[in-house]
Structure 1
Amino acid sequence: MKQVSANIAHDLKTPLNRLQMILDTASEKNLSGQKIAAELAEAHAESLQINETFDALLRIAQIEAGARRARFTDVDLGEVLQTIAEIYADVAEDDGKSLSLAQPQETTDRIHGDRELLTQMFANLVENALRHCPSGTTIKLSAARQGERVVAGVADNGPGIPAEEREKVFQRLYRLDHSRSTSGSGLGLSLVRAIADLHGASITLGDGQPGLAVAVSFPLAMD
């Protein structure tokens, strides 16, 4: 708990300082009779972002502590990806992009895990692609058995991530330069890594030539 508290205090220090500066500006303008609607709107948006960051940090801490293992059951990754495809296909289309699922010829072998967290993981990966890729991008989901593991993929033909940045993006609050103009807490991929680690899965970010190819490799569920 001490470590979690220290992490949260550190990661929220900058946005809280930013919120204080906005409110100080609003207070000064109010005293001089100036309008402060813009500052109040900015403060509201900043407070929402702080709450989102706080919730994500707590969720990551809970996952890293292994508290969710009690909810593990046998899960078909193909079904999880089907759910994600159904939820986000229209969202992608409305944004000028396309999302499709490469259905395996037969049901993929099951893994042992928390269905809710796995859904969150792939939702985060898809939302990341939707947020950072331009109109016209195609996003493809897949799942297939490879030896004694099941590998799920989320690939797009967007701008991708430079090789030297691919490990850094899993750090809490780390954001690429071209991502700073978009909304987000910088915790989406940190949550993805925490969920992967909880499930004993490995995650790699590769070059989609063009775009980003994310592969998450899970051990098969034991009979």
Structure 2
Amino acid sequence: TMVDVSHGRLDARIPLTGNGDDIDAVSTQVNAALDRLSGLVDGMREVSANIAHDLKTPLNRLQMILEQAADKTASGETVSAELADARSESRQINDTFDALLRIAQIEAGARKARFVDLDVGSVVDTIGEVYADVAEDDGKSLSTTLVPDTKWYVHGDRDLLMQMLANLVENALRHCPPGTAIELSVTKQGERVLVHVRDDGPGIPAGEREKVFQRLYRLDSSRTTPGSGLGLSLVKAVADLHGASITLEDNHPGLAVIVDFPAVREPAA
């Protein structure tokens, strides 16, 4: 089996005897590792294809802008507009690569050393305060619903959780029309803490909800709006790092995003 894998057959697996002995135990662990390896390789192939596809267009635009600037320079015309466009395109390309690097670092677990027990409700409250005016300026509303004098403790990195929630709110602001209401809230179910981001916008079709977490994936309806298609990929990476799951549900109308964290006990004073 390992020879097959070394020759590129990543679907090869060690057959189990069914006896439940040590050989079966080791085989199960090796097969699990091969499943993970196969998934990572498939992900790398998909990312490479997506990068080639999605970055080719802005790179071509940048080349065309520079060629126009070169032609104008040769004829003595001003090129300030072309330089501004080129700077904008190059910034978008750099932002895309920076986001890919951040996701890779998060998935590698590099930030776990900064984990502490913290109240995720305070993170939600801060995001609500920061983006309330942004939403209002954009013709939308953002409200935060928290139970007074209640704390919801999780084990995590505050900065990463802020980034995750900011991406979810910005995603709703970017893709929902004026008049949309967005709500942030936190609840607890047993030993789980649930962070909710709901809106009454157009939502996401059921068949697309898992795909939106893929790097550089964008809905057809979103391709005319700014963005790299990496915001929700970063959200998924941060959630995975925190042992949290993400569920996308129909909000009737709109979209409900639920991030489900394992709860921790309140830290001793």
TM-score scaled to structure 2, two decimals? 0.75
Deviates more, 1:10-19 or 1:207-216: 10-19
Q: Partner residue of 2:206?
A: 163
2-structure distance, mates of 1:194, 1:97: 28
Q: Partner residue of 1:123?
A: 166
Counterpart check, 1:48 vs 2:91: yes
Aligned partner letter, 1:145: K
Secondary structure, aligned partner of 1:175: coil
Secondary structure, aligned partner of 1:119: helix
2-structure distance, mates of 1:16, 1:61: 23
Q: Partner residue of 1:62?
A: 105
Q: Partner residue of 2:51?
A: 11
Aligned partner letter, 1:133: C
Q: For 2:147, which of 96, 104, 112 is the aligned residue?
A: 104
Aligned partner letter, 1:55: D
Secondary structure, aligned partner of 2:143: strand
C-alpha root-mean-square deviation of aligned residues, in Å?
2.4
2-structure distance, mates of 1:144, 1:131: 26
Q: Kindly indicate whether the alpha-carbon contact (under 8 Å) linking 1:108 and 1:145 is maintained by their aligned counterparts in 2.
A: no
Deviations 1:127-169 (A, max 9, x none): 1111111111100001111111101000000111111111111
Counterpart check, 1:135 vs 2:175: no
Deviates more, 1:29-38 or 1:108-117: 29-38
Q: Kindly indicate whether the alpha-carbon contact (under 8 Å) linking 2:153 and 2:265 is maintained by their aligned counterparts in 1.
A: no
Percent identical pairs in the alignment equals: 67
Deviations 1:66-111 (A, max 9, x none): 0000000011111100000110111111111111111125423311
TM-score scaled to structure 1, two decimals? 0.90
Structure 1 residue 22 displacement after superposition: 2.5
Deviates more, 1:55-64 or 1:11-20: 11-20
Secondary structure, aligned partner of 1:84: helix
2-structure distance, mates of 1:201, 1:28: 53
2-structure distance, mates of 1:34, 1:63: 47
Query: What is the aligned length?
Result: 221
Q: Partner residue of 2:230?
A: 187
Counterpart check, 1:30 vs 2:76: no
Secondary structure, aligned partner of 1:182: coil
1-structure distance, mates of 2:119, 2:71: 57
Gap change, CA 1:10 and 1:158, over 3 Å in 2: closer
Q: Kindly indicate whether the alpha-carbon contact (under 8 Å) linking 1:108 and 1:144 is maintained by their aligned counterparts in 2.
A: no
